[in-house]
Amino acid sequence: MKKTTLVLALVFAAGIVMAQKKTTSSAVVSFDATTPKDALPKAENKTVIGSIDIKTGAVAFEAAVKNFAFSNPKIQEHFNAPNWMDSDQFPKFVFTGTIVKINKVNFSKDGTYNVKAEGDLTVKGISKPAKAEGTITVANGKIKVAANFKLKLEDYNISGQPIEAGKVDKEPKVSVSAEF
């Protein structure tokens, strides 16, 4: 009897701990590097995995570089090539960080909350501090996260003639959205 009670207590406690962390495998990351000279350098990846711990504010997203889809297949080929993203050697973009003041978000009440996330963004094997502003929306028990930020291509050793010619923005806009 004591063993059964202990096991049930441990299972219940594990369930509570696990309920704090939410995950998804269908988050979306898009970036827009368009310029007045070229409207084509934009892409979207709908197979991003993400997690959020609603207790600690820990947040993480991982995107396969090859899963970014462009309207022009030639741009996608250049994007994945060794002189750009080198997706064979560096197959993932990764963000790990924390939502600042997560205690200000009431996950048990419907509403939209403005938040900031701070952490590290890793691109091409290079990790740099990153900050993003966004929202967390709680509705009917579902959690939606949306954030926007810019990244400097030169910080991740991304350069080339299209950037210098003004066809690719030096600081593309990145958007992240996820439902947990």
Is 4 a residue whose pLDDT tops 50?
no
- Residue 20: closest CA among 94, 96, 135, 105: 105
Model confidence pLDDT, tens digit, residues 116-130 = 999 999 999 999 999
- Note the pLDDT of residue 19: 62
Checking phi first, is residue 7 left (phi over 0); if not, alpha (psi -120 to 50) or beta?
alpha
Mean pLDDT of 133-154: 95
Token pair of 106 as six digits: 């009431």
pTM above 0.85?
no
- Note the pLDDT of residue 33: 94
DSSP H stretches of helix in 22-143? 73-80
Superfamily (CATH) of domain 23-179: Lipid/polyisoprenoid-binding, YceI-like (2.40.128.110)
**pLDDT range class, residue 161, cuts 50, 70, 90:** confident
Model confidence pLDDT, tens digit, residues 7-35 = 444 444 444 444 689 999 989 999 999 99
- Residue 68: closest CA among 45, 85, 91: 45
Model confidence pLDDT, tens digit, residues 41-88 = 899 999 999 999 999 999 999 999 999 999 888 889 989 998 889 999
- Note the pLDDT of residue 16: 44
Count Cα neighbours of 37 within 13 Å in the Cβ-side half-sphere. Answer: 8
In the chain, what are the domain boundaries? 23-179
